[in-house]
Chain A
Amino acid sequence: MKAVGIVLAGGGSNRMRELARKRAVCAMPIAGFYRSIDFALSSLSNSHIQTVAVFTQYHAGTLNEHLSSSKWWDFGRKQGGLYTFTPAITSENGFWYRGTADAIAQNLHFLKECHEPYVIITSGDCVYKLDFNKVLDYHIEKNADITVVCKDMPEGCDTERFGTLRMNEESRIEEFEEKPVIARSNTVSCGIYVIRRRLLIELIEQCDAEGRYDFVRDILIRYRSMKRIYGYKIRDYWRNIATVEDYFATNMDFLKPEIRRWFFGTYPDIYTKVGDQPPAKYNVGAKVHNSLISSGCIINGSVEDSVVFKGTFIGSNCYIKNSILLNDIYVGDNSYIENCIVESRSTLQANSYYKGEDGVRIVEEMNELFVL
């Protein structure tokens, strides 16, 4: 128990388009069964970090529902626990979280009352699996003030919405740019940081006094030369889901056997809130190729290269291709869906036709529920 965890899960995103209307980005369903925040929480839990705070703001209710019990990630213990902090009006403060640093500042009492020497800060909208103990060991070995987990993105990747950084041969970060138009490096920050708890408190109090609210801009970049900030490079899978395109691609990544093997077949597991869906059922006329199907689904039609979430019904003679169908959808008979993300609880009438012509199309349709 060397560290406490902080999961930054307050964000909405314009780039999620209609998908952000219903839920926080960190509550986005992933890989048929999980939600985005499960990956951060599972990595924390698997690294034996027992006290975890989740900061929520945008659509906090959707996350609270998912986090209604901490037992799924094994935080429901006498020691430690899972805490959710949503902005609250107090005698000292009447603001929403004005930034990541402000979120921590408003809940500084949490950090002050802990006894663990380190803090791990992670964003909740990334899909990854990481042993934080290794990062901690690295942090201690390097005698760093802050360690930033980072990853080399492939050439030509759009780094515009990330923080990019450049390290010297000792892995010390020399340059850190936030959301550069033209990036000078393809190493991006994964939004995962390790820092000594006392130092964090000190820096946050300083920021707060100066009216600065952003962890990256006002701490990482501002203190870049003064503090020893190191990069810890990961080579394993890591992906941020906060745009529709990335969200779509991340889900489709799970159709690859090596990705599934890494997340589901390699110790340790990813945990999530488990429902009581019956096994998936395939009736006459079902054809399923290269797809993930979750429990509770009833499939009567064709599904190809797609991810189908829990409790979805697909009618006879349907053709679903290269699409993501979220939870509890009803798709009427003879429908055609290609290159789409169908929003959860949608009810599509029979003979619907949806095709994403250039890029992914988001479908949300609420007809009167059809019942078998």
Chain B
Amino acid sequence: MLLAGGQGSRLGVLTAMMAKPAVAFGGKYRIIDFPLSNCINSGVDTVGVLTQYQPLRLNSHIGIGIPWDLDRNIGGVTVLPPYEKMNNTEWYTGTANAIYQNMQYMESYHPDYVLILSGDHIYKMDYEMMLSYHKSSGADVTIAVMPVAMEEAKRFGIMITDENGRIVDFEEKPEHPRSNLASMGIYIFSFDVLKRALTKNASQSGLDFGKHIIPWCRDEGYGLFAWQFEGYWKDVGTLTSYWQANMELIDIVPEFNLYEEYWKIYTKSLPQPPQYFGPDSAIERSIVGEGSEIYGEVYHSVIGCGVRIGAGTVVRDSILMNDCVIGERSTLDRVIAAEGVTIGSDVRMGDGEEQVNETGPQIYRDGLCTVGEQSLIPDGVTIGKNVMIFGATLPTDYPDGHLASGKTLIRNQGAS
């Protein structure tokens, strides 16, 4: 059961029109491709994807699951949105509540075990190994954990285990952590335990795994075990960590390697032609998706599919998602441009000194210039740092052709 209904508000304007799991990552992927590919690579071929916030992009991406070979006669992928019921009708109010509302779906497959995943991390994990551990340890619930630095530990849910890996206690974002094993939000439940736990706690409002179900299981004396994961695991919950995780893909041999034959990551890819580089282009330390045409210069950037970069334009330390069009002689520095953004010619982005953003100081920071989906930036303007732009902006939105650092500019937000 893959939880993909969250907004991910810390990704700011990137999730204005799509749920966080649908946000593009690493040129041609979307975040949800990673858990979905893990599923099929681990032999999990019955997957329910729970959607709620802005599901359109997610639905069209998943379709019937062809890219992940999840188009099955039995099982396969099923998208599970909240639905109207006879007596009470509600949205998914919490992670566990969402699973509870889909009890029928799970029961129809008579599972022995249920794997609960969230759709917002970048990692490669063999769930099969976790399941073997679950079986061999005789656990009722297994929680995937990974060791983090002690000073980092206070940001996570921390599991305290005995020498057998049994969880004896846990604490949520502790001030003085007693262990460095952080919960990754990945659970395996024996189905009967899950069913009992959900049914008993059904009336709890905002029913959540971390807050309610796991404590209940401990109090009831069920066997809770921690399975330790070692490998790359990246939370892309904030714009800064999203940007960093993208940039890490560019390293010579990245810690998270997409180029391995083993454990491939699948995504819905359209038949797009190869990328073309013009006679005067330059490119270094970058990854580029299919169908892009690059006439300018690109350094240390992640470029999606079908992007067009005009001659004389210099792109540095930026993420340009699918189908962005950049004019000529522009300069882009630390820009995150969502899908279908059009940037004119002679534009300078990421110019000047940093200023704290006026609307989302915790979101738009670290010098990043974030542009929302389908936005338009006119020719010849200069834009500062920590800026957010969304909508078809006009030259008149830029006094003296300039948008200062820390500004937020929203125009014609449209349907949303």
Task: Give 7 pairs: A residue, B residue, CB < 8 Å, sorted on A.
Answer: A33-B273, A274-B270, A278-B259, A284-B285, A286-B283, A288-B281, A295-B290
Known pairs A278-B265, A279-B290, A292-B276; A284 contacts B271 (CB<8 A): no
In this assembly, does B235 line the interface, its C-beta being within 8 Å of a C-beta of chain A? no
Within 8 A of A (CB), among B282-300: 282-291, 298
Is the pair A281, B290 in contact by a Cβ cutoff of 8 Å? no
Residues of B within 8 Å of A292, CB to CB, are 273-277
Which B residues lie within 8 Å of A278 (CB)?
Answer: 26-28, 258-259, 265, 287
Known: A255-B276, A264-B291. A281 touches B286 (CB 8 A): yes
Most chain A C-beta atoms within 10 Å of own C-beta, residue among B252, B290, B305: B290
Interface flag for B359 (CB, 8 Å): no
Asked if residues A295 and B289 are in contact (CB atoms below 8 Å), the reply is yes
A72 and B66 CA atoms in complex are apart in Å by 11
> In the complex, what residues of A have CB within 8 A of residue B266's CB?
276
Report the bound CA distance from A254 to B285 in whole Å. Answer: 25
Interface 1/0 per residue, A255-289 and B, CB below 8 Å: 10000100110000111101010111111111111
Q: In the complex, what distance in Å separates the CA atom of A294 from the CA atom of B292?
A: 10
When chains A and B are docked, how far (Å) is the Cα of A254 from the Cα of B274?
10
Q: How far is the CA of A96 from the CA of B372 in the complex (A)?
A: 60
**Chain A nearest CB, measured from B278 CB (Å):** 7
Q: How far is the CA of A287 from the CA of B26 in the complex (A)?
A: 21
Which of A33, A279, A284, A309 has a CB less than 8 Å from the CB of B287?
A: A279
B271 to A31, Cβ gap below 8 A?
no
A372 contact set on B, CB distance < 8 A: 253
B280 interface residue per 8 A CB criterion? yes
Q: Are B28 and A280 in contact (CB under 8 A)?
A: no
Distance in angstroms from B272 CB to nearest chain A CB is 8
A315 adjacent to chain B (CB < 8 Å): no
The reply to whether B287 and A282 form a contact with Cβ atoms under 8 Å apart is yes
Contact indicator A276/B290 (Cβ below 8 Å): no
B286 near A289 (CB under 8 angstroms)?
no
CA distance A270 to B273 in the complex (A): 9
- Which of under 10, 10 to 19, 20 to 34, or 35 or more describes the interface residues of A? 35 or more
Q: Is A296 engaged at the interface, CB distance under 8 Å to the other chain? A: yes
B250: CB under 8 A from chain A? yes
Q: Is B211 an interface residue (CB 8 A)?
A: no
Q: Using CB atoms and an 8 Å cutoff, list the residues of chain A in contact with chain B.
A: 31-33, 71-72, 254-255, 260, 263-264, 269-272, 274, 276, 278-296, 298, 303, 307-309, 372
Contact of B274 among A269, A281, A293 (CB under 8 A): A293
Q: Do the beta carbons of A263 and B273 come within 8 Å of each other?
A: yes
Is residue B279 contacting chain A, with contact meaning CB distance below 8 A? yes
Among A278, A283, A287, A303, which residue has the most Cβ atoms of chain B within 10 A?
A: A278
* Inter-chain contacts of A284 with B (CB < 8 A): 252, 284-285
Closest residue of chain B to A278, judged by CB?
B258
Q: Is the CB of B284 within 8 A of A282?
A: yes
Please report the C-alpha to C-alpha distance between residue A289 and residue B279 in the assembled complex, in whole angstroms: 5
Would you call A289 and B265 a contact (CB within 8 A)?
no
The CA of A284 and the CA of B287, in the complex, are separated in Å by 12
Q: Given A279-B290, A283-B285, A289-B278, are A72 and B258 neighbors across the interface (CB < 8 Å)?
A: no
Q: Contacts of A290 on B, CB cut-off 8 Å?
A: 277-279
Q: Which of B259, B264, B273, B279 has the most chain A CB within a 10 Å cutoff?
A: B273
Is the CB of B269 closer than 8 A to any CB of chain A? yes
Q: A279-B289, A282-B283, A286-B284 are in contact. List 4 more A-B contacts (CB 8 A).
A: A260-B276, A279-B303, A289-B277, A293-B277
Residue contact A295 to B274, C-beta cutoff 8 Å: yes
B127 to chain A, nearest CB (A): 19
Question: A281-B286, A285-B284, A296-B259 are known contacts. Are A291 and B277 too (CB-CB below 8 A)?
Answer: yes
Say whether A270 contacts B289, CB under 8 Å.
Answer: no
CA distance A272 to B271 in the complex (A): 6
Min CB–CB distance B343 → chain A (angstroms):
20
* Closest chain B CB from A43 CB (angstroms): 14
Interface contact B288-A280, CB-CB below 8 Å: yes
Q: Are B269 and A274 in contact (CB-based, < 8 A)? A: yes
From residue B26, how far is it (CB to closest CB) to chain A in Å? 7
**Contact, CB under 8 Å: A274 / B284:** no
A276 with B265: in contact, given A264-B291, A288-B281 (CB under 8 Å)?
yes
Knowing A278-B28, A298-B259 are in contact, say whether A283-B273 is a contact too (CB < 8 A): no
Distance between Cα atoms of A285 and B274 in the complex (Å): 21
CB distance from B207 to the nearest CB of A (A): 37
